[in-house]
Structures are given as structure tokens and as C-alpha cells.
Amino acid sequence: MELDIQKMIFDFIGGLAIFLFGIKYMSNGLQKFAGYKLKEIIDRYITNPLIGVLVGIIVTILIDSSSGTTVIVVGLVSAGYMSLRQSIGIIMGANIGTSVNAFVININILEYSSPVIFIGVILLFIYKNKRIFTIGKIIFGLGALFLGLQLMANSLNPLSTLEGFYELTVRMSDNAFTGVIFGTIFTIMVQSSSVTIGVLQELVGKGFLDIREALPVLFGNNIGTTITALLASIGTSISARRAALTHVLFNIIGTVIFIIFTPLFSSFILYLQQMMLLKSEITIALADGLFNITNTFIQLPLIGVLVLIVTKIIPGKDTRMLYKVKDLDPIFIEQSTSIAISQTKEALVLMGKYAALGIEESKLYQLTYSQKNTETAIILEDVINNFDRIITEYLILISKSDMSKTECDEHNMLLDSVRDVERVGDHFVNIIELVSNQVGNKIQLSDSAKKDLVEMFEQTLHLFKDAMTALDDSNTTLALKVLKTKEKIHHLECRLRDKHLKRMNEGTCSISAGLNFVDIISNLKSVGDHSGKIAEAVLRTGAIINENKLNKI
């Protein structure tokens, strides 16, 4: 058979590109659609590694692809919805699931990638609803992911039909080490563990190989299938790359263990074959299943060690995992509304700290144009939106309880202020988009304009931090200072606007640069306005509390 090398290469790299695009598109869609709700669901139900293993088995059986399962897991970890520890159990389960599929009748979901993409396109282009559009992104991304996998596998499948590969397989199986290497490389090349197992089943069935010679290739096959997760982790978060590396280590460690005990394992497999009167083809599938099940139960208690190893190999902190959302327990409302309000206030203050970090990131992005800053700012805005939802829902629950007059006033202050902090998040994202517009359209600001922006950023950030401190400490003196400073921010915005107009007239800055500059300082002025509203809420609550105290006297 003559191979069309050019077609193989083009189909493979095209499939890889579609695959990586699908991962990115699906991950972005999940972030916009689910927010942190998906993370809450995962945290609630995947409470221990054993449950993760069961989830991995079920999902892999349903979609008939361990690669598909691990890729989805990498996407969820990258999006911040699943921790590294949670992902490891599912990855282990995916290995078992792909072995189970050798014994059950199932639907190959990869064959349905085209209609999945079609459904995604319909949702993307026909429906105007933002939520349905986001669902379309997820479905389209998932379809593209599976289409990419299918293209990569199909592009290299002709290799498995070459007579030379059968001969090479027999020759390489003479030695356990070379057998593992060959099984790994062959599976990487054909992008399918099923193809490798199929080749082994045919060779064993025809008597070219015995079970002992086939086992090392089978072990290597499990290492080779991890390449898909590694490809999926390209350009993702640190945690996602660690999850992909864990998949590799898991199979390498398992292979080393089983190579040491190959004589014992092969004898056991042959005993089962004779006892159960199994065909050679089924025996290979059984050996693969026993390898993955035994390997999982050996390493399941060692998940902490695996996490430690991959953390050492891939050091650093994952930005998304740094920003934790404070849980608000409804039990506090039943025990004491005062404690519940205090807990809500702590959450709001933490939300404010993240909003301040977002302003810092937008300032740094304006100065450096570093993509890292925009990614962090978008993560922070997502966290802030989740805080807004959690705090608002919790305050609604509190409002149904009996509250004193003071508690009622504090409750209203928090309800008003949470909206203002959430709007601050919207404004720093607006600034990120404006700076991205600078980068995309090569808009150049003069040094004087950049200096003015830094001044506006710093004063606005200081004002917002003071407003949040006033709220945290119920400090009416600081709240009054915030209101006075807010007026100074207004005057500063007017002065900087006039200065920039003069620069435009002198030709120092272009019109496009001028419009961009004005929009940025306008957003910063709005942050100042929301800081003022927070300060007003503090003063209003403080005045009412003092009045209540005087009435009691």
C-alpha cells in the first residue's frame, strides 16, 4: 500500500489546529456560561478521588474515548472549575473506562462531531440571546474538539495497515523495554489506543505474538495515549498542565511496576484465559483492563504524592486558584442574623480587595501591554461577579429573618455597596478592552498622556481602597474624606481631558488616541463615583445607628 505522506501530515496538523481551537473555545464558553456555579457542583459531588474514578469510567464509556474525557478534564481544570486533585481521580477512571469499552457495545461519539458542530453553529448564528450564544460556544467547541481528534486519528490510521508495521511490532516485542517504547510511539503516531490494541489482538490471534510478548506493547500503549492530554494542555493554566503531566506519570509509574512483575502478571492472564476459555483477542482486552484497574487502586492512595511531584516539575502558582470565593453558610442566619451580616461584610470586603487588584492589573496592562495582566483582570472580574451573586442571594435570605433596626440598616448598606463594587469590576474590564484596542490598532499615546493616566489610576485606586476601608471599619470620618476626594477626582478628570485636548490640537496625540484616553479616564471617574456611593452608604448607616442610640438614651 502506497502512503500519501503529504495528505497525512496536512490532515494531522489541520486536526491538531481544530482540536486546540475546540479546547479553547469550549473552555471560554464554560467560563461565561457557568461562572463558578459549575465549580460549586463539581466541589459538591466530586468530594473524593474514588467518586472521581467512577465519574471518569462512566464518562469514558458514554463517549467511547479516554482521550476525550482527559481533554475535557484539562479544559475544566484550565477554566478553574476543577482542582488538580479532583482531576486525577477522573483521569484514572478514564483509563479504566476505555478498557471497559472493549467489552461493551457503545456509540462512538467521535463519529457525531459534525452534527454537534452544526448544532453549535445554529445556536451561535441564529439565536441572539447571550446565554444561548454561550451554550453554542460550548457545543461548537466540543464538536471541534472531537472533530480534531477524529482527523488526527484518521490521518495516521493507514500506518496500522502497513505490513512493515506488523513485522516491526513482532521484532520490537522480543524485549520488554523496546516493546514499551514501540507501544508508546505507535499509539502517539496513530492517535488511538484502540488501533494499537486492535493490532495486538490480530497478531496474537494469528500466533505471531504470545501474551508475554504483547504485554509490554500494551503497557506502552497506555503511555502513548496520554499525548492527547499533553496537546490539550498547550497554552493553558499551570494546573491544567499539571493535570496532563499527572496522566503521563500515572501510566509511566504503572508500566514500571507491571514490567517488574510481567512474568507473574502474564502467568495470571494465561491462567484466566485457560480457566474462562477466552479467545486471544478478548484476553488482550482483559489484560488491558486488569492493568488499568490494578494501577488505579495502587496509585489512588498516592494522589497527594502525584500532586507533589507534578508541582515540583511545573512550579508556580495558578492565578485562577489564588482568588478564592468566600462561602456564606445559611446556618449563620438561623443562629444569628448579626453573625450572618458580619460574614457578609467580610465577603464584601474581600470582593473589594479583588476589585482593587483588578484596577491595578488594568493600570499595569496600560503600562506594559502584557497579556498576563488582561488574563488576570478577566479572572478577577469573573470572581467579582460570583461574589456579587453569592452575597446578593445571601442578603435576600437574611432579609427574610427578623432583624433589629441596626441590623436592617447594615443589611441595606451591604446590599447597596455590593452593586457598586460589582460595577467597579465592569469598569476595569472596560479599561482592559480600551487598552487592547490600543494594542490592536497600534494607537500610540504620548509620554505626557501616559503620565496623566498613571496619576488618574493611582488617585482612583487610593480612593476606592479608602472607601472599602471605611466600609470595613464603619469609619464615618474616612467616608467623609472619600466624598471630598471624589470631587477632586472629578476636577482631575476635567483637567486631564483639557490637557489632552490641547495635545491633540498640537498634534502630539492623534484623534484615535485622544478618544481612547478620554474613555479610560471616564471609566476611572466612574470608579470614583462608585467609591463615593459606598462612602455615602457608610455615612447614612452611621447616622441612622447614632440616631437610634440617641433615641434609646
Which whole-number Å values give the CA distances from 376 to 216, 237, 348, 365, 369, in the listed order? 45, 11, 20, 10, 13
Please give, one letter per residue, the 3-state secondary structure of 128-188.
CCHHHHHHHHHHHHHHHHHHHHHHHHHHHHHHHHCHHHHHHHHHHCCCHHHHHHHHHHHHH
Q: What is the pLDDT of residues 84-108, one digit of tens each?
A: 888 888 888 888 887 765 554 344 5
Q: Are residues 201 and 188 in contact, defined by beta-carbon separation less than 8 angstroms?
A: no
Segments of the chain with pLDDT less than 50: 1, 104-107, 321-322, 545, 547-553
Q: What is the DSSP string of 182-228?
A: HHHHHHHHHT-HHHHHHHHHHHHHTTSS-HHHHHHHHHHHHHHTTHH
CA distance 497 to 522: 9
Q: Which residues contact 159 (CB under 8 A, 6 or more apart)?
A: 3, 165, 189, 190
In the block, cell 441590623 appears at: 407
Predicted confidence at residue 550, as pLDDT, reads 38
Question: How many Cβ atoms sit within 10 Å of the Cβ of residue 304?
Answer: 11
Q: Are residues 427 and 463 in contact, defined by beta-carbon separation less than 8 angstroms?
A: no
Predicted confidence at residue 97, as pLDDT, reads 81
Nearest 5°: CA angle at 78, between 231 and 137?
Answer: 90
State whether the Cα torsion 448-452-457-459 is positive or negative.
positive
In the block, cell 435576600 appears at: 396
CATH level 2 (architecture), domain 323-551: Up-down Bundle (1.20)
Grid cell locating 233? 494542555
CA distance 144 to 141: 5
CA distance 12 to 6: 10
3-state secondary structure of 318: coil
Q: What is the pLDDT of residues 507-525, one digit of tens each?
A: 777 777 778 888 999 999 9
Q: Which residues contact 382 (CB under 8 A, 6 or more apart)?
A: 31, 35, 36
The domain spans of the chain are 5-313, 323-551
Question: How many Cβ atoms sit within 10 Å of the Cβ of residue 171?
Answer: 11
CA distance 431 to 519: 8
Q: Are residues 493 and 524 in contact, defined by beta-carbon separation less than 8 angstroms?
A: yes
Q: Are residues 126 and 327 in contact, defined by beta-carbon separation less than 8 angstroms?
A: no
Helix intervals (H) in 261-370: 262-276, 280-299, 303-313, 319-322, 331-335, 337-368
Q: Are residues 314 and 242 in contact, defined by beta-carbon separation less than 8 angstroms?
A: yes
Question: How many Cβ atoms sit within 10 Å of the Cβ of residue 346?
Answer: 13
Predicted confidence at residue 89, as pLDDT, reads 86
Q: How many helices (H) and strands (E) does the chain have?
A: 24, 0
CA distance 355 to 92: 38
Grid cell locating 275? 480457566
Predicted confidence at residue 545, as pLDDT, reads 46
Q: Are residues 82 and 42 in contact, defined by beta-carbon separation less than 8 angstroms?
A: yes
**What length is written for the chain?**
553
Predicted confidence at residue 55, as pLDDT, reads 84
